A and B are shown apart, each in its own frame.
Chain A
Amino acid sequence: ETGVTQSPTHLIKTRGQQVTLRCSSQSGHNTVSWYQQALGQGPQFIFQYYREEENGRGNFPPRFSGLQFPNYSSELNVNALELDDSALYLCASSLSGGPPSGANVLTFGAGSRLTVL
């Protein structure tokens, strides 16, 4: 089975620009979560998508938005980039038999490292 793949692996943007990060779920998984991991910190939950709809959101402003596609892949979009958005963005997929629960095990991708100058 294929794991979670993310692209791009590295990118550099300037303040005010917009960025789109992409994620392909592990085969058979139907739920995608996005996390932001700043340097030296643990991952912070951004949001989760299930059945192409947002199914929970952390404390991130609306300029962080996402999509899930019918093949369960996902995008994370960040508008009006700020310096503090510099981080490793992790995508994680899981299999939910019904509405996703906190008990599901996450399979993570290697991440997209975003640098905002």
Chain B
Amino acid sequence: AQSVAQPEDQVNVAEGNPLTVKCTYSVSGNPYLFWYVQYPNRGLQFLLKYITGDNLVKGSYGFEAEFNKSQTSFHLKKPSALVSDSALYFCAVSWYSSASKIIFGSGTRLSIRP
């Protein structure tokens, strides 16, 4: 069955330090991978996606993610965290024959301390 996992409920990082939010997936065939962010009382906002091509994808607000096919991972990274990055982050996966169904992970709360 198709699935996506975010193994960490919460990640705590000091401002200015690098951050990583982990995501692994299970899909038959080639995956389409996404990261979305959710701020309080707001809908989800798109950060970046991997469809094909370069394994390193750059997105909004300085975030990037690396697609690793052998490890079936798509971890979100940022070289230097900001307090304003504190939010709930969702990894999501889809696939060619999914009829547009996208599966979201359970979310990781990122907390950046000043």
- A residues sitting closer than 8 Å to B (CB atoms) are 4, 31, 33, 35, 40-45, 48, 50, 55-56, 58, 90, 92, 96, 100-111
A111–B41 Cα gap in the complex (Å)?
8
Contact with A along B84-109 (1 / 0, CB 8 A): 00000010101110111111111100
Report how many residues on chain B are interfacial, defined by Cβ distance under 8 Å: 26
The number of inter-chain residue pairs (CB within 8 angstroms) is: 76
Q: Which of B41, B44, B95 contacts A106 (CB 8 A)?
A: B44
Measured CB to CB, the nearest residue on chain A to B91 is A42
* Beta-carbon contact of B100 and A102 below 8 Å: yes
Known: A41-B106, A42-B105. A48 touches B43 (CB 8 A): no
Interface assignment of B51: CB less than 8 Å from any CB of chain A? yes
Interface assignment of B49: CB less than 8 Å from any CB of chain A? yes
* Beta-carbon contact of B43 and A111 below 8 Å: yes
* Beta-carbon contact of A55 and B102 below 8 Å: no
Known: A102-B95, A104-B100. A43 touches B49 (CB 8 A): no
Name the distance in Å between A88's Cβ and chain B's nearest Cβ: 9
* Beta-carbon contact of A102 and B32 below 8 Å: yes
- By a CB distance below 8 angstroms, the chain B residues around A105 are 34, 46, 49
- By a CB distance below 8 angstroms, the chain A residues around B49 are 103, 105
A110–B42 Cα gap in the complex (Å)?
5
Known: A42-B107, A103-B94. A4 touches B101 (CB 8 A): no
